[in-house]
Amino acid sequence: MLQGPDRRNFLVLAIQGLGAVIAGALGVPALSYLFSPAKTKNDATWIDVADLAKLPSGEPAEIIFSRKRVDGWKVVTEKTSAWVVKTGETEAFALAPACTHLGCAYHWKQESKEFTCPCHASSFSIDGKVQAGPRRGRWTGMNRG
């Protein structure tokens, strides 16, 4: 049987030991999170969306394709689109499907050979350069007061 200061020292050491175990249980995962290297990005950002031989030369074609997007820990497969223009036998470029002003989905007008935005009557050339900027008061599908 322990008596006097020995028992007191034992209880102090037991409490300090228990505190050290708790601090280790909480601290090791926190430190490993803070000091571990960030998840490396996948370098494969290019994906095949269409057979180049089947695309018309010099005409934009809207291609709908699936891609994987990482959102935190969640990997989402989503459908998206791009306008692809074939410029040669083995060359093409793609344009994002959203207008640079409001992010509206634009479309190709064959008769005027330009992309037009239905939100504010902007127009873009076949290579994506702005030909006419946003025009106020020309909204389709919306009434402005």
| Global pTM exceeds 0.85 | no
Distance CA(70)–CA(42), nearest Å, equals 10
Distance CA(58)–CA(17), nearest Å, equals 75
> pLDDT at position 131, please?
81
> pLDDT at position 22, please?
94
pLDDT band at 123 (very low <50, low <70, confident <90, very high): confident
> pLDDT at position 122, please?
82
The backbone region for 72, taken as left when phi is positive above 0, alpha when psi lies in -120 to 50, beta otherwise, is: left
